[in-house]
Chain A
Amino acid sequence: MNPTPPIQTSDFVLQTSTRRGLNPARAVLDNGVVLLAKHTTTTPAVSINLAIRAGSACDPPDAPGTTWLLSRVIDRGTAKRSAADIAEALDSRGITITIAVTRQLFSLVCTCLAEDFEAVLALLGEIVITPSLLDREIETRKGEVITAIRQDDDNPAVRASESLMALLYPDGHPYGRRTKGSIEVVETLTRDRLLHLHDQRFAPTELSAAIVGDVNPSHVHDVAAGVFGRWQNAAPPPITLPPVRHATRRQRLVIPMMNKAQADIAYGFTTITRRDPDYYAFWLMNNAFGQYSIGGRLGDSIRERQGMAYYVSSSLDANVAEGPLVIRAGVSPANVDRAVASIDEEITRLITEGLTPKELDESRRYLIGSIPRALETNAAIASFLQIAEFFGLGLDYDVRLPDLLGAVTLDQANAAARRALHPERATIVIAGPYADVESDNRLIG
């Protein structure tokens, strides 16, 4: 799954960038665990970000949502500690573990006081390596997950986004599946199934630990080696993602939700992988189109000039497979058609007339200038280091990033728009108090 194999080294100190910038320390334990550390003194606290290459793309094809349920129950007991023991260990230190599942990664993230670092990392290690996954915990968390799925079913924004992904990535592609799965599947999941998934996908070769805060990197290395160094489990086979098929026609799906006050629009395309050489051109193009200031060109048109929406923006999620570019807007049901038409118009204007040099320059200056702000907190730095590690961007990525953005030409940004955006091949989902006859509601079940 990792597109770029990590540089194998046991020398924690030498494997650092010599240029200014974050200059994190990186080491790989003998069993394959990657350690990333950065010393900061902003607060007497430490952020720990453990990323395992075991995201929802690892779900068994017949059981979407297995990884999500695992994420809800993994910290509810280990070989050595009960759920109550863990609760006490966390609560007495004021700590919350946030466990997140993306398509590619299963992450455990928390911030603790520096004085608690050793104890908290030891606890996290137990959770990752030896979760007990007891039946009674699984049953309780199933109830929570089913309730969350029911809440999502009543949320127009979630319905629109998830349905868009299902249309963009059809036929069971992992990117098109609901991360939480379905109630029917969740109800059938068993302890054996979760244990099997954990055993198959959780291995030292899949773990990257980013630790940022008021703790010395050499101490991080010693503590992390003690926690993870003896962990042994065979490396799992790589996940093979099916090829992404780009849409060849315009699709429109309406999900009537007549109990709601506002409609949510999700309008998107499949685009590129994160490793695509045009990535930075796409990033700049998307910023100017749907992010800069208050939603870029889209915000200027739909919110500022026409007053149609409280929010409208676009997001680019280039990933291991060709990720989506998604435009989202929340509008009054009376304005749905006008908002979709405005998105069409803005796309057409972008691909025919292109960005102006001023627009590209503004977005470039903004993205480069925002790097210090984006890397201000320990948690943000840890997250940044994990992304750089996952995509093999290098320890000096923060230093090189301005040059990478600076090298993008206007022609490249405009070519990115022409490559990605085509109103005639757009996939559009509208969820809310709205119904029309254009939609082909058979598109998804």
Chain B
Amino acid sequence: MRATTLDNGLKVLVQEEHTAPLASVWCWYKVGSKDERPGLTGVSHWVEHMNFKGTTNIPRDQVKGIIEQYGGSWNGYTWIDQTTYLETATRDALDRMLFIESERMANCLYHPDDCESERTVIISELQGGENDPDQLLDQEVTATAFKAHPYQHPTIGWLPDLKAMTRDDLYGYYRRYYVPNNATLVIVGDVDTDEALRRVEHYFGGIQPGRDLERLRTVEPDQTGERHLTIRKEGTTAYLKVAFHAPSATDDRFVPIVILDAVLAGAKGLNLWSSFRTAPPQRSARLYRALVERGLASSVSGSIVPTQQPFLYTVSVTATDGTSLTSVEAATLEELDRVRQDGITDTELAKAKAQLKARLVFDNDSVTNIAHQLGYFETIASVDVFTALPSRIAAVTCEAVADAARSLLAPSNRTVGWFEPLPIGNGSGKSEVGSTKSEVRSLKSEV
């Protein structure tokens, strides 16, 4: 992999992979929902949508097909730290892909009619998410776990903000953050590195850098007591989430917590783009045995994602039909307390490392997935964090995991969320469509 930086500040990473006649191009921006101020929640994601709607040199009606004619796929996503765009196509489309990304960086149109049309599309996306009780609960737990840090609001934004945002809000945000000195371009595939870099210079070299960006500096204060919330809404299934404030990707405790998560719920891998597509190996994991094998839950999962700033470690449980959330929560917390008290065994450590070794291989099975990992880590921290993962995993000891578990899983560091289904068809649902009845059931303070 070769890394370089253009004069305008654009970071470029190129990795040759000659196993298939394909190339994947990703353009990453260091802007996500954590960069949004109150009143503009969701603007990063909406801007992402707008950046598929034509540019000065790619007319609106020619966006469609520009990559497809090479058999390619394209997409983009926005999350808390980053916004990214990708194309994967046959290698002969490399020039076209670079052209598109350079246009997206500098010349998007933001026609007022397109802004309005996209407002309803995004609200539809939000409502589709609200249809899923698990997603609804995740949103509320995250919002409750964070009191100050902008990680608290959902990437898609709050509905009132989406209704009120203007075209100028969108365009101003675009112009501020879509500058070469806030971006990383990644190319992976059947390419020649020198030639690829020449083409990058051709398309991106003339784009002017932006001014230095002022970042929000909010640091989430330490949580001083358990938080608990309950959503009561018509539904069929009960869900539990337990979230703990967790360290960022560069923190020494991060990889031990990845190991801890593997012991509790099976190793997922660390690719936000692909890891979730395959369920983790978890049948011998502690939480699986305590919850699923005992018939209390139909599923359990853990989530620790590499982030720029401290985010969350979340355990999610789906209660089996007829099982109370009280008993599911008790069994979950009992298991978490046990590992906090006693740590993990040498055998568990070895198994977790073997799982992660395999997952890192599985997560890099395509040019698209490899390119994602390079750009993702460069955006939230540094690509060196990615390349160092195998050695960091290998160096983890049982003691390091125990230390991390003791601080991470402290009761005062957790937020517990319930989705408690109300019987369907009691007549209350229709008037509450799109709303969430959320209440703080109790707020225990435990220092």
Contacts and interface: CB of A to CB of B under 8 A. Distances in A.
Interface of A: 40-45, 83-84, 86-88, 90-96, 98, 111-113, 139-140, 143-144, 146-148, 150-151, 153-157, 257-262, 292-294, 300, 303-311, 330-333, 335, 362, 365-373, 375-379, 432-433
Given A96-B278, A147-B237, A151-B236, A372 B90 contact: yes
A43 B17 CA distance: 11
B173 to A, nearest CB: 20
B130 interface: yes
A369 B433 contact: no
Contact of B429 (A88, A112, A259, A308): A259
Interface stretch (B100-108, B348-356, B386-394, B404-412): B348-356
Given A45-B365, A146-B321, A151-B237, A91 B284 contact: yes
Contacts of A155: 131-132
B283 A86 contact: yes
Contacts of B119: 307
Where chain B touches its partner, the secondary structure class is: mixed
Interface in B351-378: 351, 354-359, 361-362, 364-367
B371 to A, nearest CB: 13
Interface residues of B, number: 76
Nearest to B430: A258
A377 B367 CA distance: 10
A155 B351 CA distance: 36
Interface in B430-444: 430, 432-434
Which among B88, B318, B361 has the highest number of chain A CB atoms within 10 Å? B361
Interface stretch (B8-16, B25-33, B65-73): B65-73
A310 B128 contact: yes
A360 to B, nearest CB: 13
Interface of B: 19-22, 64-65, 68-73, 88-90, 116-128, 130-133, 233-237, 266-267, 278-285, 292-293, 295, 298-299, 318-321, 351, 354-359, 361-362, 364-367, 421, 424, 429-430, 432-434
Contact of B72 (A303, A335, A369, A376): A369
A433 B430 contact: yes
Nearest to B427: A258
Contacts of B267: 94
A145 B357 CA distance: 32
Given A43-B365, A261-B128, A366-B71, 7 more contacts: A90-B283, A94-B281, A140-B292, A143-B298, A369-B72, A372-B21, A378-B365
A308 B120 contact: yes
10 contacts: A44-B361, A91-B281, A94-B354, A94-B358, A94-B359, A96-B278, A148-B298, A305-B117, A362-B68, A376-B367
A404 to B, nearest CB: 16
